[in-house]
Amino acid sequence: MKDLLGREEALKVDEALDLLLHQDIKQPEIESIFIEGVYGRVLSEDIISPENLPGFNRSTMDGYAVNSADTFGASDTMPVYLEVKGQVLMGEDPGISMQRGETVRIPTGGMLPGGADSVVMFEYTNIIDDKMVEIMKTVSPNENVILADEDVKKGEVVLKRGQRLRPQDIGALAGLGILEVKVFSRPVVAIIGTGDEVVPPDKPLSAGEVRDINSYNLAGLILALNAVPVKKGIIKDDFDRLLSVVEESVTESDMVLITGGSSVGTKDYTSRVIDKLGSPGVLFHGIAMKPGKPLIGGIVKGVPVFGLPGHPAAITVSFETFVEPLVMKMSGEKHCPHIPLRRTFKALFSRNLSSSIGREEHVRVSVEKRNGALWAVPILGKSGLVSTLVKADGIVIVPMNKSGVYEGEEVEVRLFK
């Protein structure tokens, strides 16, 4: 189906994303790392506990270790009396086995002696003398005790392949004595700038030149995903040069982003380079999205290669919509689809804004509080202006079947990272 100007109709966002996510894509590699450096990394193996945690019956209170049967019926007015056989020291085997009618003083975290199945808190005891304590409370079996395998059982799957490790997960690894784990390597994403007018920011500018904004924006977007950006520099409009840099990048990296190429020449070069380097080559060229319409997506030897539009706002929107889900997939993370990956919240739209039916519009907004309500205020301005992104807090997406947003309508704001 062609549009009025004879061009291929732009793909819908979800169609294009689906197309990308169902390609054969290079599998992430696996590396072994120490738990000190594992925060935010994705496990490539299930972690099975080699032992019970805590490994011994442990008191959760300061008090007296007892056989709970000895406390049956004990109360303020009807205490029972137990013989004190000694005390448990922290971090040591008590080396005592209690008989009925006996008790041992125990600190929080101490190891229960043999014969004890529960702990009475100090608050419910009275010391009579060196050898005798009064117990004023009935305790149940296992009361104030963590059992030897209550936290983690030997052989239990504690953490699963595909989990992104959080602080507590690393704590659990340390608790089990697991010092090194296998994780997926972080995706390496090559950034290639193009455009005869684009110069590195440390070079003096001549008339008609602009400094490279996009590579820096992209490097940050990649870092925010816990991936590794590699800047390949800025390539002037030259087919062979672009071909060789993309070819090199496809070998070295897990994904390649070609930015800019706002000139007619480079636009053609990007899709020709992708097609020339391998099948399936270009998957789509043009998306029913604003900004970001001229996006090119393709695969070369299992490596996704994107031709990103040159405008800063189009870069950010294309990245968040297409590159991010693909980087997430390559990270090996099995992400739970109903748990949000980003900070989002509801706000009221601050004005009427029309949007074209048939394309998904990503509106930059700042967030303001007025009369106790949050308002999403659209930052209008050309997508070529980096300042509109700088002034925005996030994005409101107007779906392709909606003709706009009304003032006061509730919208969801996705904050930038």
Q: How far is the CB of 213 from its own copies (least distance, A)?
A: 4
Choice between 24 and 202, CB closer to its own copies: 202
Q: How far is the CB of 264 from its own copies (least distance, A)?
A: 6
CB 404 within 8 A of CB 354: yes
157-159 vs 47-48, strand pairing mode = antiparallel
Q: How far is the CB of 107 from its own copies (least distance, A)?
A: 5
Q: What is the DSSP string of 333-385?
A: ----TTS-SS-EEEEEE-S-EE--TTSEEEEEEEEEEETTEEEEEE--S-TT-
Q: What angle do CA 232, 253, 274 make, to 5 degrees?
A: 80
Choice between 261 and 304, CB closer to its own copies: 261
Alpha helices in 95-213 (DSSP H): 167-175
Q: How far is the CB of 393 from its own copies (least distance, A)?
A: 6
- Where are any strands of DSSP class E within 177-288? 180-184, 188-194, 198-199, 210-211, 228-235, 255-260, 280-285
Q: How far is the CB of 16 from its own copies (least distance, A)?
A: 22
Choice between 261 and 297, CB closer to its own copies: 261
Neighbour count for residue 99 (Cβ, 10 Å): 10
Alpha helices in 187-263 (DSSP H): 214-224, 239-252
Q: What is the DSSP string of 69-118?
A: GGGTT--SSS-EEEEEEEEPPTTS----BPPTTEEEEE-TTPBPPBT--E
Q: How far apart are CA 199 and CA 229, in angstroms?
A: 19
Q: How far apart are CA 331 and CA 354, in angstroms?
A: 37
Q: What angle do CA 319, 317, 280 make, to 5 degrees?
A: 45
Choice between 92 and 240, CB closer to its own copies: 92
Q: How far is the CB of 23 from its own copies (least distance, A)?
A: 26
CB 43 within 8 A of CB 181: yes
Choice between 103 and 299, CB closer to its own copies: 103
Q: How far is the CB of 81 from its own copies (least distance, A)?
A: 23
Choice between 135 and 172, CB closer to its own copies: 172
Q: How far is the CB of 217 from its own copies (least distance, A)?
A: 3
Choice between 210 and 357, CB closer to its own copies: 210
Choice between 242 and 277, CB closer to its own copies: 242
